[in-house]
Amino acid sequence: MFDIPRGKGGQRKNSRGKDKGESTPAKTLAGGGTRPRPKKAKSSFDTGKIVDEVLDQAYIYLGLSELDIDEKIAKSVVREVVEAVVSGYSSRPSPDSVLKRIQRNRELVNEYIAGKILESIEKPGPLTLEFLIANGGRAVIKDISRLYKLAVEYNKPELIMMLQSLWNKYGPKEMLKCPRCGFNGISPEYSCVVCGATVSEKYIRDSTGFSDKFNTYLKTASVAELREVLQLGFILVDSLRVYTPKSPEARGRVLYPVRLTRAEINLIIEEINSRDVRI
């Protein structure tokens, strides 16, 4: 079950336009006391009955009847949506009112449906895949690799482009572009979280412009930081700059470890010596 907000545009109405059954603030009485809040009215109708009445309409209205998905699974998801909507009423709503509230919260509803379908079906068919990518929003991000591979299998380049747009909008930022699939999905482990391709350290160096950033780091890092890098034998880099591995600035960022070459180690030693500090 999930919550469907009251009011238009997914926002709850203010106190002047509250849905029936919504509680109101306590009022202050003369003398400093407060009048108890009235209890929220319980539903005065059979919620199960109205859910059953609206289910088939909602199933068609949400477009699930046109997908290559088992009807039992689809209707189970739709039932949860309808139950969430109906539970927000304290008096019996009309089927039209229920459908209108679903429409007002269509983005939220579609994301929920997409998430439930992905939990229930390992390999969605082409029509269902299109529905998931077109309507799933941020709900598809955790299954990006599975959906990408299905789009490739079904030869759906337009869905791959839509997936890439969703990934750019909702996925993790600062990842490097994968040379195989084109998604910004290269992880710090040098593998693409979308298509599974792996890249070399040279690719990381070239993609981040490591050489120039390393030279800048040499001149700006403290002696303590340079010593730390010498001890660890590697350094961290992203598209912006180079970081000492234990630096607080490195926390929470997508950073790529790069092993130091013999020449880079010598440059660090020379820089330390140029500051008249023994190592």
E-state strands within 97-255? 234-237, 242-243
- Exposed, middle or buried: residue 112 (CB in 10 Å: 0-12, 13-18, 19+)? buried
Is the pLDDT reported for residue 125 higher than 90? yes
Q: Mean pLDDT across the stretch 120-126?
A: 95
Is the pLDDT reported for residue 32 higher than 60? no
Q: pLDDT class for 54, splitting at 50, 70, 90?
A: very high
For residue range 157-213, list pLDDT tens digits in order: 999 999 999 999 999 989 999 999 999 999 999 999 999 999 999 999 999 999 999
| pLDDT for residue 140 | 95
Q: Mean pLDDT across the stretch 45-49?
A: 82
> Is the CB of residue 23 less than 8 Å from the CB of residue 29?
no
- Exposed, middle or buried: residue 167 (CB in 10 Å: 0-12, 13-18, 19+)? buried
For residue range 247-264, list pLDDT tens digits in order: 888 888 899 999 999 999
Average pLDDT over the chain, rounded to an integer: 86
